[in-house]
A = this chain, B = another copy of it.
Amino acid sequence: MVRTVFFDRDVAITQTSSIAGPKEGEGPLKKYYDYILKDDIIGQKSHEHAEIMMQLQCIKQLLNKAHLSQNDVDCVFGGDLLDEIIGCNFAMRELEIPFIGLYNACATFGEALILGAIMIHSDYMSKVITTTTSHYATAERQYRFPLELGSQRTPLSQWTVTGAGCSLLTKKEEVGVKVTSGTIGKVVDYGVSDANDMGAVMAPAALNTIVSHLSDTGRDETYYDLIVTGDLGHGGSRLLQILAKKEGLNLGKNYSDCGILIFNREGQDVGQGGSGACCSNLVFNAYLYKMLSQGTLKKILFVPTGALLSKVSSLQGETIPAIAHAVAIEVV
């Protein structure tokens, strides 16, 4: 069984694009976003339509930043949290670019990066866009309760990030931000059934993938400047650190989580932190990519995490399986 796929030093992320919601735009990463929305409905007739619009504009913004036309791009690899990924599907009908639809919940952006890197490294394609989106209002009403109900949030809940983000992958021999390997996740179910406790659901999947990645690459956890999980939040990250210690793995100072990085816990009332298919995406495309480009970071292990529930599975009393993909991104 092959879980980790390796690329030479030729799969570069040459451009990124990000659109952040208003609340995300008040968070600690505000100066890194390309564009911050003034409100979360942006003149559309529903929040779903707003999410579709964010997705479309984020891809167009990427094409503008990279001075590319649609015809230059071989394929978009993307997904979102909406049932039947209508965020991506409906954005893509406005574009003339081939499309591969993905769904691994909040781990989808990791899946997209690995598949995109394979396309570039194996010369099947020369330019690939990877993208995901999520929206607080659409996710809450889909997975839990409509916001109009005013339901009280539980202590372990996280705040679904409103935003869209894209990366452009191309082949490049010179030094740059490169995808150097990827470890594909397995579905892990730890028996948690609380749809408000995503951190506990996803931490075991993150650990499973990180352990496999380090084993497959012959590295230890100190190899990376930063190991950053997708959206475990404060509670889930602590749980991961405890579980990791039992495996002899020390996730210490070089470990963080995108759900922690994206919001100020004090003052932003986000519970355990951020979550959603665009949480890790936005932190990567807006912030981590710039840190790598500037040389502040050299080697990161980016581990988007996804909880594979649906409202039907929750209402049928099911526990929640999870998955995590690990992507090594290095300046080489």
A contacts, CB < 8 Å to B: 1-3, 5, 45-46, 48-49, 71-75, 79, 82-86, 89-90, 92-93, 95-105, 108, 111, 115, 118-119, 121-122, 124-126, 142, 184-189, 308-313, 316, 318, 321, 323
Contact = CB atoms under 8 A, between A and B. Distances in A.
A100 B308 contact: no
Contacts of A313: 48, 84, 86, 90
Given A72-B1, A90-B321, A93-B189, A184 B122 contact: no
A89 B309 CA distance: 9
A93 B204 CA distance: 13
22 contacts: A1-B71, A1-B73, A2-B74, A2-B124, A2-B126, A3-B74, A5-B125, A48-B313, A83-B311, A84-B309, A89-B321, A90-B313, A95-B187, A98-B186, A100-B104, A100-B115, A101-B108, A101-B111, A103-B103, A115-B115, A121-B122, A142-B312
Nearest to A188: B93
B187 A89 contact: yes
Q: Which of A92, A126, A185, A188 is most buried by chain B, counting CB atoms within 10 A of its CB?
A: A92
Nearest to A92: B187
A102 B100 CA distance: 8
Nearest to A321: B93
Pairs A-B, 9 closest by C-beta atoms: A122-B122, A84-B310, A89-B308, A98-B184, A92-B187, A93-B321, A83-B83, A103-B103, A2-B74
A120 B132 CA distance: 26
B83 A312 contact: yes
Given A90-B308, A96-B186, 18 more contacts: A1-B72, A1-B74, A2-B124, A75-B184, A83-B310, A83-B311, A83-B312, A84-B310, A89-B308, A92-B187, A93-B187, A93-B308, A95-B187, A101-B103, A102-B103, A103-B103, A118-B118, A118-B124
Given A124-B118, A184-B99, A316 B84 contact: no
A264 to B, nearest CB: 30
Contacts of A86: 308-310, 312-313
A103 B90 contact: no
Given A71-B1, A83-B311, A92-B321, A102 B101 contact: yes
Contacts of A103: 79, 84-85, 101-103
Q: Which of A2, A85, A185 is most buried by chain B, counting CB atoms within 10 A of its CB?
A: A2
Contacts of A45: 316
Contact of A2 (B96, B125, B311): B125
A210 to B, nearest CB: 14
Contact of A90 (B142, B185, B318): B318
A118 B126 contact: no
